[in-house]
Amino acid sequence: MRKLVAVAAAAAMGLTLAACGQNTAAPSASTSGTGSAAAPAKGTIGVAMPTKTSERWIKDGSFLKETLEKAGFTVNLQYANDDIPTQVTQVSDMVTKKNQLLVIAAIDGVALKGALKDAKEANIPVIAYDRLLRETDAVSYYTTFDNFKVGVQQGTSLLDGLGASKTKSPWNVELFAGSADDNNAKFFFDGAMSVLQPKIDDGTIKIVSGETEFNKVTTLRWDAGVAKKRMENLLTKSYSDKDVNGVLAPYDGISRGIIAALKANGYGKDKDMPIVTGQDAELESVKMILSGEQFSTIFKDTRELAKATATMVQEVLSGGEVTVNDTKTYDNGIKIVPTLLLQPVSVDKSNIVQVLSDAGYYTEAEMKG
């Protein structure tokens, strides 16, 4: 059975999605456009990443740089340390230096409008990487994972964990969302709530704090410290005479902040550790899943996202057709951005070692070390 899970994961993470819109071919790192389009001149690709405080973004930047360099490009890779003015300056500098194309994972999806206007005026194409660039017509394409599905998987995993726990329903649950300035955060939350809201409505789940609206549960910059402080406040305010049974957490860093607050309040020792979800399969959280502190995470193979994006770079610069598979969902407030979606995989203690080791993402020794 676990072998089937691993095979399914490999299939999901492979770029064999049925594409629609501008090309029906699946992307691969070795292709550069379609038909008889000319091969792109190999110039400099500007890659703007949000931060190095997350293992995930370090991997993304590294994978993108490596993949694009293998394709023959020079890469101008910049990290902004979660500082919006720094990222604005970095992107503006890429435009000034006439980088051939920009790949941007934005800190704030709206804050780059001015720099992106300059990029459009300079005829520099822009690909939004995993975070949608909003309120601009300068973004050409978007590469990401199916973000609504990520949320569905998180909500489903939370329910599965609660159902398998010692505690009978109704279950006391708290909700966390990502940073409000990241378009993905709302997709994750809406996906999860599509699963959880019916259980809230029928009384199976109780949100003891009463905080259920997206704008009440967001976590600025996806910061673990912000999440830890909010969890501490929730425990003080709402759980003096009861236990929390589950927490919807949208990202592993947030999960770890929540778990730190829970452990400081006796959970995992005097009281059962709640079911806590996550996302990104960061190594520290993988180890916490194996130790029983975190329940689950969502595996998104960022190597495949880097490969898909590198292929898209070549397709765009060749002037040929560009591979996308969603031309309806991602409205940035100005336009529907043609998007290439990859598929996420939900993992927990039962399958995480096999899925991640079979994918070559971590070794078993790294996960169990």
Answer yes or no: is 351 within a domain.
no
Does 152 share its domain with 270?
yes
Q: What is the pLDDT of residues 77-114, one digit of tens each?
A: 999 999 999 999 999 999 999 999 999 999 999 999 99
Phi, psi of 129 (to 5 degrees): -110, 105
DSSP 8-state symbol, 110? T
Answer yes or no: is 250 within a domain.
yes
Does 236 share its domain with 336?
no
Does 272 share its domain with 306?
no
Does 306 share its domain with 256?
no
Q: Tell me how far apart the alpha carbons of residues 290 and 293 are, in angstroms, rounded to a whole number.
A: 8
How high is the pLDDT of residue 246? 98
Mean pLDDT by 10 residues, the chain (369 residues): 36 40 38 43 93 93 96 97 97 98 97 97 98 98 98 98 97 98 96 98 98 98 97 98 98 98 96 97 98 98 95 95 97 98 98 98 95
Note if the pTM is more than 0.75: yes
Answer yes or no: is 160 within a domain.
yes
Answer yes or no: is 135 within a domain.
yes
Closest by Cα among 347, 351, 355 to 150: 347
Closest by Cα among 361, 364, 222, 368 to 301: 361
Look up the domain containing 33 and give its range: 13-145+301-343
Asked if 206 contacts 172 with a C-beta cutoff of 8 angstroms, the reply is: yes
Does 99 share its domain with 185?
no
Does 141 share its domain with 116?
yes
Answer yes or no: is 72 within a domain.
yes
Does 188 share its domain with 140?
no
- Domains of the chain: total: 2
For 185, the token pair is: 């955060």
Does 319 share its domain with 263?
no
Does 20 share its domain with 138?
yes
Answer yes or no: is 222 within a domain.
yes
How high is the pLDDT of residue 220? 96
Per the DSSP assignment, residues forming a β-bridge with 77 are 47
How high is the pLDDT of residue 369? 86
Domain boundary among 249, 279, 309: 279
Residue 185: give its domain's CATH number.
Answer: 3.40.50.2300
Answer yes or no: is 117 within a domain.
yes
For 211, the token pair is: 């905080």
Element (H, E) at 233: helix 224-238
Q: How many residues does the chain have?
A: 369
Residue 361 CB contacts under 8 Å (≥ 6 apart), including other chains:
281, 299, 301, 303
SS3 345: strand
Does 155 share its domain with 173?
yes
Asked if 138 contacts 120 with a C-beta cutoff of 8 angstroms, the reply is: yes
Answer yes or no: is 368 within a domain.
no
How high is the pLDDT of residue 135? 97
Does 333 share its domain with 261?
no
Closest by Cα among 299, 291, 279 to 358: 299
How high is the pLDDT of residue 17? 38
Does 132 share its domain with 29?
yes
